[in-house]
Amino acid sequence: MLTDKVVIITGIGPGMGRKLALEAAKVGAKLVLAARSKDFVEGVAREVQAAGGKAIAVTADVSKQEDCNRIVAAAVAEYGKLDGLVNSAYGSGPFVSFEDGDLNDWRKAMDVTLFGTLQMVKAALPHMKDKGGSIVNVGTMETRKPLVAHGSYVVPKVALGGATRQLAIELGKYKIRVNSAIMGWMWGAPVESYMTHMAKENGTTLDAMKAGISANIPLGHIPPDQECAKAILVLLSDFTSQVTGAALDINGGEYVPL
């Protein structure tokens, strides 16, 4: 599906980011993996290489334009081109109510989630303009169904959705497609850790929490992060060559948009 396509993925972490890297390599992508954690991102690159794929790691903070430039420069230096970009890096402040929260935490989150994405696109644009490419911005179902105290996470993601549509309109003339992948609950290490913590706080069990969430999902289970990652591969691929400015909801049917 992505044979010989060079793809940058930012925000590599223990959940969907890692799974996306592994799945993209399986279908032929040559990867540049970026994250702030040097040890982790280099470990994921080694996993990809051990499985026979191609990947390099770049330690970077996308809130800094110079780091974004460095990520793109590494891709071009290693592989000679750039075909795809997945903006998965995000920021969030403490999960507290708006009333009790500090808006500086919201600003810091915006610097990563929104402006980090825009800075990555700025850096990538000169290398995509001649032949086109695909940009996928990772959103969240919480922009459809906000949760109390999650404002510093949700508001930057809402802004990211607007930026996706704006970029799709402006960059289409270069044959650059820009789409959103709107993720719901994804079962993997981060969500398991979160639910385990919440189960203890609420005096219940992990299985009970999973069952309660799954009851609201038509497919009957929390979607595995590995399977959610595969949907992003479709948006990166030529199978969606005529799709831009779209938002693909990946949530097992928990939220069905009009």
Q: pLDDT tens digits, residue range 156-178? A: 999 999 999 999 999 999 999 99
Q: Is 79 a catalytic residue?
A: no
Strand-by-strand arrangement of the 84-87 sheet: 54-59, 30-35, 6-9, 84-87, 133-140, 176-183, 247-250
Whole-number average pLDDT of the chain = 97
CATH code 3.40.50.720 region(s) in the chain: 6-185+225-250
Question: What fold, for 6-185+225-250?
Answer: Rossmann fold (3.40.50)
Q: Catalytic residue among 153, 174, 194, 255, which?
A: 153
Confidence of residue 182 (pLDDT cuts 50, 70, 90): very high
pLDDT of the residue at 258: 83
Q: Which tokens belong to 35?
A: 């994250």
